[in-house]
Amino acid sequence: MKKNPDTSFSKALEKLEEIVAKLESPSLDIEEGLTLLEKGVQLHKLCKEKLTQANTKITKILQEDNDKN
């Protein structure tokens, strides 16, 4: 799975939740499980990056607001 910076946080989280549900299946074979795990890790990284970016933006906005007051 290639990183797509245009993927929204909510869409990535939705895909991650689907992967987790599939990984919980007792009938999942090892090869498919490994593939899903790899995709899940990539989606986790993407979500984490987006949360970090949002946090940075929020901090900047709040700092600018404090500087005005």
pLDDT at 5 over 90: no
Question: For residue 24, is it within any domain?
Answer: yes
Q: Which two tokens stand for residue 51?
A: 């949360």
The count of other CB atoms within 10 Å of the CB of residue 18 is 14
Question: For residue 60, is it within any domain?
Answer: yes
Residues 6+ apart with CB under 8 A from 1: 38, 39, 42, 43
Q: Return the axis-axis angle of helices 30-68 and 9-23, rounded to nearest 10°.
A: 150
Residue numbers of the domain that contains 25: 9-68
Report the distance separating Cα 12 and Cα 42, nearest Å.
10
Question: For residue 51, is it within any domain?
Answer: yes
User: What is the model's pTM?
Assistant: 0.79
Digit-coded pLDDT (tens) for 27-69: 999 999 999 999 999 999 999 999 999 999 999 999 998 888 7
Domains contained in the chain, number: 1
Report the distance separating Cα 38 and Cα 54, nearest Å.
25
CATH code assigned at 35: 1.10.287
